[in-house]
Structure 1
Amino acid sequence: MDMNDTGKLSIQALRTSLKPFAKPELGPAVWQIANTFLPYFGLWGLLIYLLKSAVPYYLVFPLFIPAALLLVRIFIIFHDCAHSSFFASHRANTILGYVSGFLTFTPFAYWQRTHLVHHGSYANLDKRGVGDLWTLTVNEYRALSPAKRLAYRLYRNPFVFLGVGPGYSFLVTQRFSHKGDGKRERFSIMLTNVAIVLLIALAGLTMGFRIYLMIQVPIMLIAGAVGVWLFYVQHQFEGVYWAHQDDWDPVKAALDGSSYYKLPKVLQWFTGNIGQHHVHHVLPRIPNYRLQESYDATPAMQTVPPLTLLKSMGSLKLNLWDEERHKLVSFASLSG
């Protein structure tokens, strides 16, 4: 089988080629926990000390950036646990998933369900709306009233979906159960809320609420913006594949509907290799610490053109799916 000829490969063949890497390894998993959680808590300790020592906030603020990036890395671990791929043990994945969820303000079972729906519906125009950034087709947008068009434009504005959106999602919407949530999802929301309240109470008794908020809020907002941007650019970029259910092809969806976001090495480390998102969508059971290895060993994965950091900025202007041209287009293109 010629692994470079991806057009003739089935999704089963692609998964078979990656299956050797879908085996969690205890050593790398424990090391990733150590090199992620320990510096994160260490930065929290340093920030508390500096703020209690009356160091000016503007001098302290740069430290929020690595702390936020470490929280993104914690979320990647959380994400792996949702796929039961971080550890071999399902129980260990669940426990670490809940703990990571407490830190990221994300209920584990609730997010796990919506994310697994995303894996079955991404790049599918007939299954939009769960675990994704809502995207209208050109015709759907044109059929809206002026007020609803304005609302959609605001929703797709980067200052909203990268600024207001992450805070609203992580701090508000994930605090409540939603239609379709089962007993397990509702329990995870309740447990996460209780954990957050206890963490805030503990913070108030130790460092004080003011210092806690001065640290927690910027870290959450920065990490949330980075996380939403990663999720956005993984499925919304120039040349992305989307199709209706009848024409939806799992190979094209994985290789053309998911980006290979080639980041600088330091950002690749902070984001847990999630830029190799096409690999992840072919076989979600590969732990993040084996994604680079699986990419390097599998020629079919290397056929996907990389999306660079600079080139990805162009994705911000893509707001609508044009069904006639089979591509994402900008609002500005409608006036032509």
Structure 2
Amino acid sequence: MQQTQLRNRGEFSLAPFRRPDNLRAVWQLLSTLVPTALLWACLPWIWRPLRLESLLIAPAVALLVLFSARSFSLMHDCGHGSFFRSRALNRAVGFLLGVVNAIPQHPWSRGHAFHHRHNGNWERYRGPSALITVEQFQQLSPEQQQRYGWSRHPLMLFPGGFSYLVVRPRLQLLLGLAEWLAAMTGELRRDGWRALFSLYPRTLSFQSSHWYTADEFIDLAANNVCVLASWWLMSRWLGAGLFWGTYAIVMTCSAAIFICIFFVQHNFPDSYAHRSNDWSYFKGAMEGSSNLILPGILNWFSADIAFHSIHHLCERIPNYQLRACHEANQHLLGECTYLRIRDIPRCFDLILWDSAQQRLVSTSEV
């Protein structure tokens, strides 16, 4: 990839594409959640062992995986406040889609906003895999280096994806509540029964290593209550075996898909990987974000997140306007990186940051 010669983001036409369209958003929501609900409703009739209709289980599960990945993309838009015009509607629908994806949307969106603010600044943000520097890698023992390489192998997307959606949010709540309980017990021991009168404000001001604000805690707790209730209801309706067998595959594979897409859109050959002192937001968007060339059906299921340079240039553009905005500015995007599906495997070789040369490298180069 050549270095872009563009001076600033003001050369782009972005404003005409920023305004959300509530009708298009509602249609996207319905065209995602209704088929998802119908597919789940059809499972008891499809899954008949030793019957011909059981052959339909594989395509049904594959479609559930794709619709799950799409619902995550729509949740991502809600987090940016770009899906609906109303902030409250984005928040409410984002919470709903967070329950569908088993992940608390508000804390996730705040973390994702940090990524947008620092994309390409590898001193501040090392991507979803928390990559290490060449210097840190060289300080590891050979066994540790080998384990690090294995932990960043593409096959780890599957157990990692299941943990990311199904396990981690539950664990965060439990560990955070354990921290809160320990802190409040310490307050009671220090101040005695008088501490009970200030329990509520102390709880609101409590700082956990698993959430940053009271709003994040409320969203995390509410998401867990709704998700656990949905798991119980679905298990009662479909049977624990059918539900968990299907759900585990769907969540594992859909998470693997969007984590893979996110990874290759920022970890690719010649990606912009600078230190803080000479970092540029604009270059982070143009040179630190790749654009994927995907079949049309995969663009639909991924809500056009493949047009990623424009998305990083202006995250307030709704997904249903990204393609039009990309095409309107095509003449300014010719020097950005474009990846095909066959290019994805080589991106997973780049798991180290060379801070001296300010580029991503593979372990074999080291």
Shorter-chain TM-score above 0.5:
yes
- The one-character-per-residue Cα deviations of 1:142-178 (angstroms, maximum 9, x if unpaired) are 0223443233222211122x12111111111122146
Does the 8 Å CA contact 1:319/1:329 hold for their aligned counterparts?
A: yes
Q: 1 CA distance for matches of 2:59 and 2:354?
A: 41
RMSD (Å) for aligned C-alpha atoms: 2.0
Pairwise CA distance, 1:223: 0.3
Q: 1 CA distance for matches of 2:263 and 2:230?
A: 30
Alignment of 1:1-336 (within 5 A): 7-11=5-9, 13-14=10-11, 17-51=13-47, 55=51, 59-129=56-126, 132-160=128-156, 162-175=157-170, 176-177=172-173, 179=209, 180-298=211-329, 299-334=331-366
- The one-character-per-residue Cα deviations of 1:221-273 (angstroms, maximum 9, x if unpaired) are 11011011011111001121110000101121101100111111111111000
Q: 2 CA distance for matches of 1:54 and 1:94?
A: 45
Does the 8 Å CA contact 2:274/2:359 hold for their aligned counterparts?
A: no
Q: 2 CA distance for matches of 1:210 and 1:200?
A: 12
> For residue 213 of structure 2, what is the amino acid of its counterpart?
G
Unaligned 5+ runs, structure 2: 174-207
Residues 206 and 283 (structure 1), Cα distance of their counterparts in 2 relative to 1, 3 Å cut:
same
Residues 167 and 309 (structure 1), Cα distance of their counterparts in 2 relative to 1, 3 Å cut:
same
SS at match of 1:319: strand
Larger Rg computed on CA atoms: 2
SS at match of 1:320: strand
Q: 2 CA distance for matches of 1:159 and 1:54?
A: 31
Identity, in percent, stands at 29
SS at match of 1:17: coil
Does the 8 Å CA contact 1:200/1:209 hold for their aligned counterparts?
A: no
Pairwise CA distance, 1:6: 5.5
Pairwise CA distance, 1:122: 1.9
- The one-character-per-residue Cα deviations of 1:45-92 (angstroms, maximum 9, x if unpaired) are 222321257648665123211211111110111000000100000011
Alignment: residue pair count: 326
> For residue 63 of structure 2, what is the amino acid of its counterpart?
P
Q: 2 CA distance for matches of 1:19 and 1:155?
A: 42
Unaligned 5+ runs, structure 1: none
Q: 2 CA distance for matches of 1:247 and 1:149?
A: 30
Residues 214 and 285 (structure 1), Cα distance of their counterparts in 2 relative to 1, 3 Å cut:
same
Pairwise CA distance, 1:301: 3.2
> For residue 98 of structure 2, what is the amino acid of its counterpart?
G
SS at match of 2:255: helix
Pairwise CA distance, 1:293: 0.6
Q: 2 CA distance for matches of 1:54 and 1:82?
A: 44
Residues 300 and 55 (structure 1), Cα distance of their counterparts in 2 relative to 1, 3 Å cut:
farther
> For residue 123 of structure 1, what is the amino acid of its counterpart?
G
Range with bigger deviation, 206-215 or 271-280: 206-215
Range with bigger deviation, 176-185 or 164-173: 176-185
Does the 8 Å CA contact 2:287/2:337 hold for their aligned counterparts?
A: no
> For residue 38 of structure 1, what is the amino acid of its counterpart?
V
- The one-character-per-residue Cα deviations of 1:178-222 (angstroms, maximum 9, x if unpaired) are 615211111111111100111112113322212211221111111
Normalized against structure 1, the TM-score is what? 0.91
